[in-house]
Amino acid sequence: MPLHTPAAGAPCWFELSSTDVPRSLAFLRAVFGWNSVAMDVGDPAGAYHFLKNATGTIGACGGMPPDAAGAPSYWGVYFGTDNLDASLATAQSFGAKALAEPFDVPGHGRGAVLADRGGAMFNLWQSANMDAGDFTMFENNAVGWVELATRDVDAAQDFYGTVLGWRFRESANAPAGTRYSEYAAGETWYGGLLQMTKEWGDMPEHWSLYVVVDNVDATLAATTAAGGAITVPAFDAPGVGRIARVDDPTGAGCYVVQLARG
């Protein structure tokens, strides 16, 4: 797909906070073919590495935030807003917690880190530029879906529908015994809300990325060869495609999906 300009309220950036940036970058290059371009953006965690496929920029990788010492590596999701302060105030009025003070990246924009009322961490981002640059999604070796695992789909719809202006539809491809609600920002369907069942145990609610790949099984072979781990073995999701979950060598996880054809 061509370069993508996210609508207001849409996922607009993906960021890997890593306990070992060189190992994470080497893994992403080996598994997804992503190159990286380092830039000093004044981040106290060190250099910021923009991740690129053949089309454009996927997101970025940097060191762990100073207040996350001892935490494992993780992928973060940013959702765009035209007014950070207003979106932050609305989110807090609906039960979200600000995990840090809003921050400025001079020349780029302003962001905030929150936990929604179910505890899932997410970010808000008000860009200083109207143009999304060379940001890309919805193609092989790029993010193609962004999913919230939640114990209360109705509450999540209420929260994100109010804060980010999403609309929803129930999925005909929901896993057996559970519920799946897809969400759109503007005219684009970006992801879904997955109902967590008792089989999830006490796992916290969380956001996950799906990276589109041409061949899941080949990707899993590349994952183990690069020192990563397969945390959800490959399975076939009717109407969707073949899916698995992988961790890089530092423990940061994402799903990979080989979309069904036709």
Structure tokens at 233: 């073995």
* Statement to judge: residues 176 and 122 lie in one domain: no
The structural domain count of the chain equals: 2
* Statement to judge: residues 17 and 116 lie in one domain: yes
Please determine, for residue 249, whether its predicted confidence score (pLDDT) is greater than 70.
Answer: yes
Q: Which amino acid, residue 155?
A: A
Dist. CA 117–CA 208, nearest whole Å: 17
Residue 5 included in any domain: no
pLDDT of residue 198: 92
Final residue of a structural domain among 65, 92, 127: 127
Residue in 68, 69, 75 with CA at minimum distance from that of residue 13: 75
* Statement to judge: residues 248 and 162 lie in one domain: yes
pTM attached to this predicted model: 0.94
Segments in 107-191 forming alpha helices (H): 153-164
The pLDDT tens digits for 165-224 are 999 999 988 777 889 999 999 999 999 999 999 999 999 999 999 999 999 999 999 999
Q: What is the DSSP string of 42-74?
A: --TT--EEEEE-SSSEEEEEEEPPGGGTTPPPE
| Residue owning tokens 């509450």 | 155
- Using DSSP bridges, classify how beta strands 121-127 and 74-80 pair: parallel, antiparallel or unpaired: parallel
Dist. CA 261–CA 239, nearest whole Å: 9
pLDDT of residue 132: 61
| Residue owning tokens 């106290």 | 44
Residue 175 included in any domain: yes
Please determine, for residue 253, whether its predicted confidence score (pLDDT) is greater than 90.
Answer: yes
Range of the domain at 35: 11-127
Q: What CATH code is carried by the domain that includes residue 237?
A: 3.10.180.10
Final residue of a structural domain among 127, 150, 185: 127
Dist. CA 144–CA 4, nearest whole Å: 11
Please determine, for residue 67, whether its predicted confidence score (pLDDT) is greater than 90.
Answer: no
Angle made by CA atoms 158, 241, 146, in degrees to the nearest 5? 30
CB-based contact 207:119 (threshold 8 Å): no
Please determine, for residue 78, whether its predicted confidence score (pLDDT) is greater than 70.
Answer: yes
